[in-house]
A and B are shown apart, each in its own frame.
Chain A
């Protein structure tokens, strides 16, 4: 879900900020803390359940915060702040309609099946529901893409550190990735989740001050709006929905159909309900109610993230004396690109100490994202690839050991990918696209598997494969023939974001259609094999004995009301 895969591909010549001794002390303390937590938790990580699922004993709060933190990477923060500068408040769609409904759906509808089936992963659920072939296809694609993404993010983060702080790129890659590797190898998911909670707190406390001081300087929200209108009278950066009636009326070149159905339905539901990177955190919850509450708690915090990510971008539009430009133009002119808006705002307001905290927030974001990638990779590789295909019967200790080696392998492959990307920059765009190819059809397969008992193993497999092939085919079609954009995205004026939305929508539709057709042509599984996996064949625990405020649906309703109010306010 990163908007700017090629962030800082071409770095500017000078660093943006200089660190004082107290800033360095804050950063060093952070590294000591996360590694120390890994060493401390090693003694509690003995079984496979401990290492891969954190013992399934997380409270709803810890699982919920970890769920959001695994997504809230540094590139996510810097990328969306840059998008807010580039596209205005439209970028907030990725945090509201592009996240909240899906997170609530995960908690209320899908989590019971993931949790009751006792699966250890999303590919594991597919294996139970549709058989080995679907599970293996999902596992291989996910494992492969996860480590590649991890490496690309690592490289981008190292570039950010080079541009912002002037740090050597090799030092940044090795220091940060080995730190993550150490604490995940030692404590597995338990350590990753512990650190993600710490990182979540640091991300907020390190970033929040930019928005607060920025609002003071601008004279409040009305002052921000007035200054943006004054600075950019020809463009509308401040409307969330009112400019989406036409592709040409908004800076993103997107139509509301793409936002609602492409982003709000397919991409968002695909990412938040089937990407094992985030779902793994919720599977670690201690009971079903906690597992249902965790995404709802996560959704409440996610809804507030624009305050520390989108608002700094808007503040940049309102307050920065210079006009930030695209990366190529920045390199040519020696100016700053909009990718630098978050560090620029950080440097604008934060003196010694606060600057260290802000940089620590960026590093914490990077590490939480990378830890999510490598811990999810280790689980999927060990349980969904190694165990079924290489060694079916082995001791629990053996699988924990394999998980630790997989973590090391994941980190090393990520580092290798980072160096590979350093040589071939364009690969970043392709891998980002490849990752997105898989998410939309996977959602179609999983949701049909959970809610439609007639879906057959053959239907699930061929639906997933054809949906993925459709996404790749549409992407290649536009690459080869740019005029095809008018068919894929329904308009020749559509921009990259819009193309992604529509491509996801088509691939999901093909996945669902093929799954339905093939399912009607093949024999379904007997009802007894669907117990615990499919709606209508699974006895869900009653919540009738809980008070209203203890029920997940009550809190989900409150979050949904909050979402509606926010969209109306910023319409």
Chain B
């Protein structure tokens, strides 16, 4: 995909993962005081997974950001 001006698919992936990461991390932090009824809740999967999504999302967003091409 090398069309002039076209955003990379990975930029879209990055933005969505970043937003999802923030939402899931926030939800995971809320779960510290209001634990959801799931097995192995003590692992706090939402927090770790949210952080992973934020890192991945931030990487793809900035790596493939349109302003970097310019």
- A residues lining the B interface (CB < 8 Å): 20, 22, 25-26, 29-30, 33, 37, 40, 44, 55, 57-59, 62, 194, 197-198, 201-202, 205, 209, 213, 216-217, 347-354, 356-357
Contacts and interface: CB of A to CB of B under 8 A. Distances in A.
Contacts of B23: 22, 25-26, 353, 356
Contacts of A217: 39-40
Interface in B16-50: 16-17, 19-20, 23-24, 26-28, 30-31, 36, 38-41, 43, 45-46, 49-50
Contacts of B50: 353
Contacts of B28: 351, 353
B43 A29 contact: no
B16 A33 contact: yes
Given A29-B19, A217-B39, A22 B26 contact: yes
A348 B38 contact: yes
Given A58-B1, A62-B9, A198-B12, A351 B41 contact: yes
A354 B47 CA distance: 10
A367 B27 CA distance: 26
Given A22-B27, A198-B9, A349 B46 contact: no
B68 interface: no
Nearest to B28: A353
17 contacts: A22-B24, A44-B6, A57-B1, A62-B9, A198-B12, A198-B13, A198-B16, A201-B13, A202-B16, A213-B43, A351-B28, A351-B38, A351-B45, A352-B31, A352-B36, A354-B45, A357-B49
Contacts of B7: 40
Contacts of A37: 12
B69 interface: no
Contacts of B49: 205, 209, 354, 357
Contact of A349 (B13, B19, B31, B38): B38
Closest 3 CB pairs of A and B: A351-B36, A353-B27, A353-B24
Nearest to B48: A209
Main secondary structure of the interface of A (DSSP, over half): helix
B7 to A, nearest CB: 7
A194 B38 contact: no
B53 interface: yes
A451 B17 CA distance: 45
Contacts of B45: 209, 213, 349-351, 354
Contact of B13 (A25, A55, A197, A213): A197
Which of A201, A347, A353 counts the most chain B CB atoms within 10 A? Answer: A353
Contacts of A194: 9, 12
Nearest to A350: B38
Given A62-B1, A217-B40, 8 more contacts: A26-B20, A26-B24, A55-B3, A216-B40, A348-B38, A351-B46, A352-B27, A352-B46
B20 A357 contact: yes
A205 B17 contact: yes
A59 B6 CA distance: 14
Which of B2, B13, B20, B46 counts the most chain A CB atoms within 10 A? Answer: B20
B43 to A, nearest CB: 7
A175 B23 CA distance: 24
A59 B64 CA distance: 15
Contacts of B9: 62, 194, 197-198
A354 B46 CA distance: 6
A55 B3 CA distance: 10
A387 to B, nearest CB: 26
A202 B12 CA distance: 12
A351 B13 CA distance: 23
B17 A351 contact: no
A467 B24 CA distance: 52
B39 A348 contact: yes
Contacts of A347: 38
Contacts of A198: 9, 12-13, 16
Contacts of A58: 1
Contacts of B38: 347-351
A217 B45 CA distance: 13
A216 to B, nearest CB: 6
Which of A22, A44, A58 counts the most chain B CB atoms within 10 A? Answer: A22
B9 to A, nearest CB: 5
A201 B17 CA distance: 9
B27 to A, nearest CB: 3
Contact of A29 (B2, B20, B31): B20
Given A22-B26, A350-B38, A353-B28, A216 B13 contact: no
A198 to B, nearest CB: 5
Contacts of B12: 33, 37, 194, 198
Contacts of B27: 20, 22, 351-354
Given A57-B1, A198-B16, A351-B31, A357 B39 contact: no
A41 to B, nearest CB: 8
A198 B23 CA distance: 18
B49 to A, nearest CB: 6
Contacts of A353: 23-24, 26-28, 46, 50
B8 to A, nearest CB: 9
Contacts of B46: 351-354
